[in-house]
Structure 1
């Protein structure tokens, strides 16, 4: 079977639909850049932390005059096998995709750390609310230490 000919042209050129990658939220600028270097994760771990019921949020202001926000995700083997860890990270990526573009601060690095059983089993709407609350508390002014 031969493909249909293009109109107005006698060539056998067919047009392909756009690939699924081009419609991804990251390419459209909605998802912050992803942290990949271990050093970036370690710097975020040594900065401010905010516990939420479904995960732990770590965040730091980079101070490099960059306007882009970066986010990383991590789940230890305490979460479970690879399937469970990947499911937890997918859930964390989705809440970050939904909340960080509106409530995250430019020039900040965020790391979401999954918690055993809770990250996978918690209701998705509750995870969204957890991230909103954690971001508000992370960016709230701190009281000076004595």
Structure 2
């Protein structure tokens, strides 16, 4: 992981609910990307969630680690200023090879109209 890349996290339930209610949702085979454009110049924030339907705590935590790795790998390639992102893990996030998850993430960003240098 890059040491100079700082990522702010969504931590409170109310922020997750705001992104879900007011933002847009882009599903892919291995993840769901929800995003809300805040229209400010504050740094972007990212949240990760996996429902209990997906599996036990070990599986859910592994999925969240994989999603965090995708965000950190994208790092400086994506412009997150003024955007809140929520990545929702699915069953396939656990079983799919990591490069496929990265590809799905970039496809979701492309559908969302976000800028990136990949």
TM-score bucket of the superposed structures, by smaller chain: 0.7 to 0.9
Secondary structure, in 3 states, of the residue corresponding to 1:78?
coil
Structure 1-normalised TM-score? Answer: 0.72
Change (3 A) 1:51 1:31: farther
Secondary structure in 1 aligned to 2:52? coil
1:62 maps onto 2:38 in alignment:
yes
CA distance in 1, matches of 2:32, 2:76: 19
Give, in whole Å, the separation in 2 of the partners of 1:89 and 1:103: 19
Per the alignment, residue 99 of structure 2 pairs with 125
Q: Give 4+ residue runs of structure 1 displaced > 4 Å after superposition.
A: none
In the other structure, the counterpart of 2:7 is: 32
CA shift, 1:66, in A, is: 3.0
In our comparison, the structure showing a higher alpha carbon Rg is 1
Give the helix-richer structure, 1 or 2. Answer: 2
Gaps of at least 5 residues in structure 1 are: 1-23, 141-146
RMSD of aligned Cα (Å): 1.6
Structure 2 residue runs of 5 or longer lacking an equivalent are none
Q: Is the aligned partner of 1:113 residue 2:88?
A: yes
Q: How many residues were matched structurally?
A: 113
User: Matches of 2:87 and 2:75 in 1, distance apart?
Assistant: 11
Higher RCO (CA < 8 A, seq sep 6+): 2
